[in-house]
Structure 1
């Protein structure tokens, strides 16, 4: 072997190893894609308004919203609609001291009815809210 071929084979490689750079860029790309907020599409729907709704008067200390097994909504024991619930919650928010709102769905009430009621409650902006009656179901399968 000649001296020049040995010197050429022992010379350091001058090429840059780009594999770690590509790996880092791919990780950053994946993180960027994950953190982009999901675009939400909304459809505006004109819902009927309740013109003759007169909700029961709110209690200045606490109010109970409950749902029975037939998915009927109640405000302090009186049957109401979702529109009347929204009006009653607006009245409680207008009081000097906002009363506590308690929510108690029956065990056999549908999930859909409970979610609709909770949606009305959330949109009203109530700040003092609690779910009550859970102690009845602390043992799974008990009646």
Structure 2
């Protein structure tokens, strides 16, 4: 507090000095302006590209598997990558409500699995379950 030097008496000057408050606020503002761009926690990755497909309108359980060597299997029968889509189209033609389960080995890269999923979608399978092992 400030005291008046008037000779009238001992009256107290009741004004608040806001200069220190403004100084602190400006320092905080500068600190936040500098640190705000560092708070962006975005992870930049290159996602695999697949062909675009339209959602089909289409319950027999069929399992498509991808092993660690990226070999494809339909119900435990090995099939070539090029033959997967025509084979799935045959299965969908036989049963329009075909339900498909996809399982892939943990060592298979995400891009390979995404391409298989795109083939499954292009083949007309509308019900897809991705199988995983519980736990983490």
TM norm structure 1 = 0.49
Return 5+ residue gaps in structure 1 as ranges: 1-59
Distance 1:61 1:107, change over 3 A: same
Root-mean-square deviation (Å): 1.7
Distance 1:87 1:68 in 2: 20
| Greater relative CO, 1 or 2 (CA 8 Å, sep 6+) | 2
TM norm structure 2 = 0.51
Distance 1:93 1:112, change over 3 A: same
Q: CA-to-partner distance for each residue in 1:25-83, whole Å, 9 max, x for gaps?
A: xxxxxxxxxxxxxxxxxxxxxxxxxxxxxxxxxxx721100111111111111111222
Q: CA-to-partner distance for each residue in 1:92-122, whole Å, 9 max, x for gaps?
A: 2211443211100111112222111111011
Q: Which residue of 2 aligns with 1:139?
A: 135
Computing the radius of gyration from Cα coordinates, the structure with the larger value is 2
Return 5+ residue gaps in structure 2 as ranges: 1-58
Q: Which aligned runs of 4 or more in structure 1 are off by greater than 4 angstroms?
A: none
Q: Which residue of 1 aligns with 2:107?
A: 108
Q: For the Cα contact (< 8 Å) 2:65–2:102, is it kept in 1?
A: yes
Instruction: Decide which structure has greater strand share.
Output: 2
